[in-house]
Amino acid sequence: MKITVLGAGGMGSRFALMLHRAGNEVTLVDGWQANIDAIRKDGLQADFNGEPVTVKLPIYSPIEIDRIGDQADLIIVFTKSNQLTTMFDAVRPIINPDTYVLCLLNGIGHEDVLEKYVAKDHLLLGITMWTAGMTGPGHATLVGNGNVELQNFAPAGKDFAQQVVQVFDEAGLNATYSDNVKYAIWRKACVNGTLNSLCALLACNIGELGKTHGIEGLLKAIIAEFAAVGAHEGLQLDQAEIYQHVAATFTSDIADHYPSMYQDLVINHRKTEIDFINGTVWRKGEQYGVPTPDCQLLTQLIQMKEVLVKAK
């Protein structure tokens, strides 16, 4: 398949590398100039489960979009949520009526942005449990296992969504076709909206968060806000199951992990995805007349911290 990956950070690098190694024709588009320069010079370099791997892939900045040749069958989006609009404004010329777009970002409501650029029947949504990180421009760390769940946004996209599942599976990405990806996206947003925002604010890892006093009540209150807002969008989130799922991480093999929002805010002083997680629940809550005091407070505190650390 001819695939363009928008955003060559950790996750974009993982998917690009694995899909390229499986024989797909992969092109990267990225807005980080140092990353583009490094990949052009030395290739995309990765620690791939302990094995050093280098792949040569074409990479363009969004302002060079007219240099990309034939149109892709599939565009996979792996920017950060807050980079989505800027990226799509720039890449409009490579989205033709036959191009499908798959969004695997964390966060809620990306379809509202993407619908402005892509027809609904060419839009695919999903989540992934794969992980990845960048150790510097052109260098990715890709360890562990994961999976992908995806689904077409409108019924007409089903055949292509199933083709993508097959292509991803052949690349070892463990993909499944989901019958209710919206539920999966909100469930994952509950995980990010509890662990990510709290670990970033408290500057702690997941295991340390689990040992704090009163954490059970706070998690349940945050999840209840996601559920109350989700109910206005036709979702019946199973709060007890989601709480158990989140609480289980405190003593799991990811207990020592510092979530990405911590890395963005505390370590790298980058803008976080809070607006698209707790922030979206707060905004949608206002729209539906549902109080979301915890999501509002978490969003505002993270935003204040972004100002204090001069996050870019």
* Residues marked as catalytic: 188
Residue 176 φ/ψ region, left for φ over 0, alpha for ψ in the -120 to 50 degree band, beta for the rest: beta
- Interface residue with ligand NAD, options 81, 151, 272, 299 (CB under 6 A): 81
Please give the DSSP secondary-structure letter assigned to residue 71: P
Angle (nearest 5°) at CA 271 between 270 and 277: 135
- Interface residue with ligand NAD, options 45, 106, 194, 292 (CB under 6 A): 106
What are the angstrom distances between the C-alpha of 80 and each of 40, 58, 255? 22, 21, 24
Q: Which amino acid, 28?
A: L
* C-alpha 265: how far from chain center: 16
- Interface residue with ligand NAD, options 46, 73, 75, 80 (CB under 6 A): 80
Instruction: Find the shortest distance in angstroms from Cβ 133 to ligand NAD.
Output: 6
* Residue 223: partners with Cβ closer than 8 Å, 6 or more residues away: 190, 194, 237, 239, 242, 243, 246
How many residues touch ligand NAD (CB under 6 A)? 24
Name the one range near ligand NAD by CB under 6 A: 27-35, 171-179, 251-259, 280-288: 27-35
Q: What residue number has its CB nearest to ligand NAD?
A: 9
Closer by beta carbon to ligand NAD, 224 or else 268:
268
Using rule CB under 6 A, residue 243 touches ligand NAD: no
**Residue 71 CB neighbour total at 10 angstroms:** 15
Instruction: Find the shortest distance in angstroms from Cβ 141 to ligand NAD.
Output: 10
Using rule CB under 6 A, residue 17 touches ligand NAD: no
Binding mask 278-307 for ligand NAD (x = CB under 6 A): ------------------------------
